[in-house]
Structure formats: structure tokens, C-alpha cells
Structure 1
Amino acid sequence: MTPYKGYATSDLARQGLRTPFKWSDRLRVVSVKVGTDGAMGSLTAALYEDYSNDPGNKGIIRCTREELVDEVTHCHVAGLQVCIHAIGDRAIDLSLDAIEEALKIKAWPDHRHRIEHAGYVLPRQLKRIKELGVNISASIGFCYPIGDSHIAALGPDRLCGYYPMKSFRDHGIVAAGNSDGFGTSYALTGIYGCAARKSNSGKYLCKEEAVPMIDAVRAYTWNAAYLEGTEDTKGSIEVGKFADFVVLDRDIMTLPHEEILKAKVLKTIIDGEVVYEHSD
């Protein structure tokens, strides 16, 4: 079985695509996505220990180490960023192995390869992620809508490894919040997950891993731009950058976290142009 692929695939690298290229300021090909395991909700993310609610099940790995190393190396040598879907701790180690092997073949200090999701991370893995220069595209937006199912899957003793946003920050790892249709594509729900770490039933998913609001917002702005290599033009409101921002109906930076979920987007501005305006 080979790694499943999404977005641009490693086949493009094999067919001659080299380094990122763009059609316009808004449309570029910069990365390739490959996958290693399943999902936490379906109990198929690859773990070292059994699922708490399914004894004997440790999830699945969809490829061999050799297959993943081959996929990652082809893209890496071609100058393409690799985004590896890895949710469980076992899949994360496999992904880091592949990136490490690729770096042995060709040095690339600012490769910005990343792990997609990183749903359950071991403390020992944090140092290795940092040392390899790997970034994280975290699905912290899962926390609120489907957090209860993940609590059941991992059990209480493993929750501080669940999308550990504070630990990522403390180790100097750039971790962005992402959008994923299986949970939510709404950034404010993800920001709430970063800052509150509560499910929709009010259960905490290790509140010690919550981050201040400034870091929660940064995960969905500057950090996200950094992951795609566009932090010089996007991710913050500064002279010389695209005027991309939203206007909310309340100040989520100072209000209680529950207000984040109630906030309405009044306007969306992209490159200085109003592309959405709320109407009652």
C-alpha cells in the first residue's frame, strides 16, 4: 500500500515539476500532500498504545517506511514542500523519519515541510520536530465540535498530547491552525479551541495546553502564512502586505472565550477589497 495523496502529488515531481511556481499572486503550487494514517474519530489514527474505547486497536499505517521515504524524498529534492498527514504518535514518528532521510540526501535549511494535523504528540517528539525544522498544521478546530469523541478515544491521561498548542509554542515550533471539513473550516472555532480547549459539551481537553488569545489568533494568521512561505506579504496588517483581514462585531481579544463562538463577521477584506459584508 502506498501513501494516499491529496492536493498536488509526488507524481508531479517525478514528471519534472521543480520548485514552487505560481500563475498569479493568489494561485500557486508550492506543496505536495501525502498521508500515513487515518483519523482519530474513526479510531484509525496510528497510535503506539490502544484506543481507550477500543482495546486492541492501535489504528492503521497506510504505507511502509520505505514507501513514505521515497515519496517525501522525490518532492524534497524537487524543491517542493511536503505536507504529511499524520494524526497519531506512531504516524508522526514515521513522518519525521521520512523527512530526516530526505534531509540527509539534500540539505535544505528552510524547507518548511510540515505535519498535517498532529493530533496526538508525545513530549519526546517535540524536540525532534524542532530540530528537523518541521512545522505543524494543527486541526485544533476539532476541539469544540468533535472533542468529546476524541476524549473517549484517547482517555483522560493522554489529553495533554492532543493538539498541544502551548507545547508547540514553548518549543519554538511554528504551529498554525488549519481548516478541515471533518470538524470545522471556521477559523473562529479553531481560535476558540486554541484559547479555551473545551468541547461543545463543556469538557476540557487539557486546559494546561491553552494559549493566550494573541497566540490563538496568530495561529490562524501569521503562523499560517509562514507555513506556506508568504509571511512577507500576508499574515499580519503591515505596510507592504496585502490588506487581508476581517471586521468582527466584538473584541474577542478582551472578552470571555465563549464570546469567540458568538462573534459575527461584519466584513471580509481581501487585498483591500470588500468581498463580504454582513446584512441582517
Structure 2
Amino acid sequence: MRIGPTKMMSDGSLIGRSAAMCCDCHDAPGNSGLLQHEPGQIRRRITEAHRCGRQIATRAIGDAALDVVLDAYEEARRLHPRADVRHRVEHAAVTSDAQVARIARLGLIPVPQGRFLSEIGDGLLTALGPVRSQLANRMRSFLDAGVVLPGSSDAPVVASDPLLGIADMVNRRTASGAPIGPHEAVTARQALHAYTVGSAHSVHEEHIKGTLARGMLADFAVLSDDLLGVTPDRIAALTVGATVVGGRVAYDAGALNFPA
């Protein structure tokens, strides 16, 4: 059994028009969402979990909710200093430039989902409009700010397949084919790094996984083609020929006969 971060909630969803936003929804004037708890309660819960030595993963979709969460993280760190905590912001779905910089300064880890861009991206565009949608599910901006970006799916809300998530991080297209924040696209290598090194870092486990090196967990997959060599539009079509877990073959579609 592994105990992960303490999960907390701050607001609702963009698709449900209940994320706590600084501005009204583009298609619902007068509705800027809501917080699930009063700011003071969010601050107290985060501070106490931090004081108890926990890593915290707080769900924040809207930028207004994100401000509340960032304030709470900063206050908790001031009251109870700890090194290399790596508190997380799950989703960070709408993030301003100032918030990106603040996340980097506080040493936090944002956890956006590439797969959201394709599966629910058209709904995000409708909710945010053409201007605010440029702030949705930011990725390149976090990397440029020096943040270690993890790969994530939020399954079962959307498909869990990492190859699909990587494809969406690179292509940033909705189900209808509309671009969504194309300036936030990352390279295939950066997306692969997020799903390996970045994800291990986000749970303080980069010393045992995330890279193929002596002493690390020997977990890897064999793909049908070179993820870093195919064109971006072909990434989603790649298939898994074999998986190795702990140095042993767990799945082998083509009888590759790896040595144990």
C-alpha cells in the first residue's frame, strides 16, 4: 500500500460552469462559479495538513480558486517552513501569467491534463471564449518558468492512455479539430519527460522511477514506432507491443521473448 498526497477540493468544474473564476463564463453572463468552501476554511485545512508533514494536492480549476489555494500554500509555508514540499495544484485549468510565475516561485507542481483538450476541449472553448481559452491547461508556460511538469490523465474522467495524453500535449486540438492554446504546446520529448521524470518528481519518487538507470524500477514499454521520431499527428496511433514491470515481461503482443 502506498499513501499519496492529501487531496483537497476548492471549486467546481468548467464544463459544469461551477469553477470559481475571476470573470463570468463566456456563455453564461452573471455566472463566475463558486468555491466549495469558504477561503478561510480552505486556508485552515491546507495549513494543518502542511503542519502535519503532508504533501497536499488541491484541486483548483478556476483562476479565482487558484488565487485562494496559492494564498493558502504561501501562508502555510510561512507559518511552518519545510523544504522541498512539492505541494500540487490539480488541474490548474485557468492560469494567468502572474499565477504561473507565482507557482514557480513557491515551488509548486501544477497538474494539467492534456487529454482534457481533446475530449472536453470544445466545451472549454465555449465556457471560456476565444480570449480566456488562451489561459487553459497551460504547459509550455510552466516549463518556461522552470516548473517540473508531470503527465496526468484524471482518469476515468477521460481516457487514461498515456500515448493519447502525450499526443494532446503536443497537438492541442479539440475533438472538432479546433486549436486550443496552441502556443502552450510542448514537444514530444517534453511530453514524454512529463509522463516519466515529471510524474515521478510530483510524488517524490524520482529516486526509484521515471528514468531507465541502474538501481531504478525496470518498468518500460515497447512501442510500435519511435515516439520522438513520428510526426505529431501519428502519436495517438502508436500501439504498445510489450510492457516490462520490475524487469519482467508483463505483456508481450508479439512474443518478443525478453530475458527475465
For the aligned pair, the TM-score class normalised by the smaller chain equals over 0.9
Q: Which moved more, 1:86-95 or 1:27-36?
A: 27-36
Question: Could you say which residue in structure 2 is the equivalent of 1:97?
Answer: 71
Whether 1:154 and 2:101 are equivalent positions in the alignment is no
SS at match of 1:155: helix
TM-score normalised by length of structure 2: 0.94
Distance in 1 (alpha carbons) for counterparts of 2:4 and 2:122: 35
Name the structure 2 match of 1:138. Answer: 112
Q: TM-score, normalised by structure 1?
A: 0.87
Q: Confirm whether residue 69 of structure 1 aligns to residue 43 of structure 2.
A: yes
- Select the structure that is richer in strand: 1
Is 2:20 aligned against 1:50? no
Q: 1:40 to 1:278 in 2, by over 3 A?
A: farther
Task: Output the CA distance in 2 between the equivalents of 1:241 and 1:198.
Answer: 35
1:204 aligns with 2:175: no
Write the distance in 2 (CA, Å) between the matches of 1:160 and 1:269. Answer: 39
- Name 2:56's counterpart in structure 1: 82
Give CA deviations for 1:192-247 in whole Å, capped at 9, x if unaligned: 12111111221111211111111111111100000000011111111211111111
Q: For residues 55 and 268 of structure 1, what CA distance do their matches in structure 2 show?
A: 49
Q: Partners in 2 of 1:105 and 1:225 — Cα distance? A: 28
State the partner residue of 2:33. Answer: 59
Measure how far apart 1:61 and its partner are.
Answer: 0.5
Distance (whole Å) between structure 2 residues aligned to residue 43 and residue 175 of structure 1: 26
Show structure 1 runs of 5+ residues with no match: 1-26
Does structure 2 conserve the Cα–Cα contact (< 8 Å) formed by 1:245 and 1:268?
A: yes
Q: Where do 1:1-280 residues align within 5 Å?
A: 27-180=1-154, 181-278=156-253
In structure 2, what is the Cα distance between the partners aligned to 1:122 and 1:238?
Answer: 37
> Residues 238-275 of structure 1, C-alpha deviation per residue, up to 9 Å, x if partnerless?
12111111111111211111211111111122111222
Identity, % of aligned positions: 35
Give distance in 1, aligned partners of 2:142 and 2:28.
28
C-alpha spacing 1:256/1:72, structure 2 compared with 1 (3 Å): same
User: For residues 223 and 95 of structure 2, what CA distance do their matches in structure 1 show?
Assistant: 33
Q: What is the CA distance between 1:184 and its match in structure 2? A: 2.2
- How much has 1:71 moved relative to structure 2? 0.9
1:146–1:199 CA contact under 8 A, matched in 2: yes
**Amino acid in structure 2 at the alignment position of 1:275:** A
Give the counterpart letter for 2:196 in structure 1. T
Aligned length: 254
**Cα distance in structure 2, aligned partners of 1:135 and 1:127:** 12
Structure 2: how far apart are the matches of 1:137 and 1:143?
A: 14
Separation of aligned partners in 1, 2:212 and 2:186 = 21
C-alpha RMSD of the superposition = 1.4
The alpha-carbon deviation at position 97 of structure 1 amounts to 0.8
